[in-house]
Amino acid sequence: MIEAFEQAARITADALAAAKPMVRGGVRLLEIAERLERLICERGARPAFPVNICVGSIAAHYSPLPDDPRTLPDRGLVKIDVGAHVDGYPADAAITVDISGDYGWLIDEAETYLEALIANLRPGVAIKRLIKQTYEEAKPLRSRLIVNLCGHQLQRFKLHSGKSIPVVPPRFHREVIREGEVFAVEVFTTTTRGAGEAVAEALVTIYSHTGRIPGGQLGEISRQLLARFNMLPFSPRWLDPSEVGLLSQLHKKRVLTAYPVLREGRNEPVAQAEHTVVIERGGARVLTRF
């Protein structure tokens, strides 16, 4: 199991390394996403979710749609969030690129807080205590943490499973970190003018299967999607046009979970840093460095 996670993580890290030089003004988001997803497949893995490319105040869940015309701006922060899976075991990591050089400090604070979280991860520690310790060590922050986006445990064919790793001390949290667990640990920062919270937009570019199989024609499509992606997120770009036309019906039937695009509550710029780690006896080992 750990070997599969490690292999997925190496491929994820390679994809992020390849992504960084692609981020420049005028490049189509669709071109970046398809090139990175193709790289993952060429390396013997599959995308664990559609490549997310989030610009400016968009924090998460924007993946290019079919024939997406959007291009990167000449200024601003660009988040590239990538995941690969091997036999269902996923890795998940993200970087932020500051195209114009205006907000490098936001990236630095996200990465510094992420490294502090990882350094405090160890078997037997209560997550509530871990977050409180990290939060106290990180003060004072020049940025504002986005409090409703957090790290998550990774399991086979489950990108968000079991335990979560928040970024601010939770009021109620009894979970404990255990040896052998694998997490995607992530941090989002914004300016102090921001709300510090991500809000949902109407646009949806990513779906996943809930495991529910309805009757009739929708049941056949549902079974096909479940066989193809299991319960990992997928993009409409990966579907036949006939399947894309049924997404809204499948969502209404609770066959699919829809992931709306998330933006910062006051439209302030957002930086993201994320790594996949495995919990070992001596602490957390990062699997997605490049």
What pLDDT shows up at residue 170? 87
Is 160 one of the annotated active-site residues of the chain? Answer: yes
Phi-psi region of 283 (alpha: psi -120 to 50; beta: other; left: phi over 0): left
Q: Which of 186, 264, 268, 275 is catalytic?
A: 186
Is 92 one of the annotated active-site residues of the chain? Answer: yes
Q: Which of 6, 37, 81, 111 is catalytic?
A: 81
Q: What is the pLDDT of residues 207-259, one digit of tens each?
A: 999 999 998 889 999 999 999 999 999 999 999 998 999 999 999 999 999 99
CATH number of 2-200+261-286: 3.90.230.10
Q: How far is CA 257 from the centre of its chain?
A: 16
Q: What is the pLDDT of residues 18-30, one digit of tens each?
A: 999 999 999 999 9
**CB neighbours (10 Å) of residue 158?**
17
Alpha-carbon distance 233 to 161, whole Å?
13
CA dist 164 → 130, 175, 181, 182, 197 (Å): 12, 9, 12, 11, 17
Q: Which of 61, 152, 173, 209 is catalytic?
A: 152
Is 34 one of the annotated active-site residues of the chain? Answer: no
Q: What is the pLDDT of residues 147-175, one digit of tens each?
A: 999 999 999 999 998 899 999 998 878 89
What pLDDT shows up at residue 249? 94
Q: Which of 31, 34, 115, 160 is catalytic?
A: 160
Q: What is the pLDDT of residues 90-118, one digit of tens each?
A: 999 999 999 988 999 999 999 999 999 99
Alpha-carbon distance 106 to 112, whole Å?
10
Q: Are 209 and 231 in contact (CB under 8 A)?
A: yes
- Sign of CA pseudo-dihedral 227, 232, 237, 241: positive
Query: Which of 58-62, 63-67, 137-141, 233-237 comes out lowest in average pLDDT?
Result: 137-141
Is 81 one of the annotated active-site residues of the chain? Answer: yes
Is 186 one of the annotated active-site residues of the chain? Answer: yes
Phi, then psi, of 21 in degrees rounded to 5: -70, -15
